[in-house]
Amino acid sequence: MRHRGETTMEDNHEVAYLKTGGILMKPVINADECTGCGLCETTDPETFKLNDDGIAIVIKEDGVDAAKLDEAIEQCPVECISKG
């Protein structure tokens, strides 16, 4: 049951939705496909980072720059970034 004043993940995503001008985006990386080339981190270091294993991870899920996310998706050589 939901109580008054309680925030949920849906609420947080709604805030992100509003901050991004109406487009709800959450970067998702298919770690099994990632080659660790680092292009996504170079494109948007606020959102992507290579972990200690050399695989890209998402470090910022809300309020992601839409243009940079599109660029990262386009540049990924194995097409393993998507919008969740």
Query: In the 8-state DSSP scheme, what is residue 69?
Result: H
d(CA 56, CA 49): 5
Size of the site for ligand SF4 (CB under 6 A): 14
The least CB distance from residue 8 to ligand SF4, in Å, is 29
Cα 15 from chain centroid (whole Å): 15
Q: Determine the interface stretch with ligand SF4 among 1-9, 12-20, 61-69, 74-82 (rule: CB under 6 A).
A: 74-82
Q: Classify burial at 3, counting beta carbons within 10 Å of its beta carbon; exposed 0-12, middle 13-18, buried 19 or more.
A: exposed
**Residue 40 near ligand SF4 by CB under 6 A:** yes
The least CB distance from residue 70 to ligand SF4, in Å, is 13
Site residues, ligand SF4 (CB under 6 A): 29, 34-40, 56, 76-78, 80-81
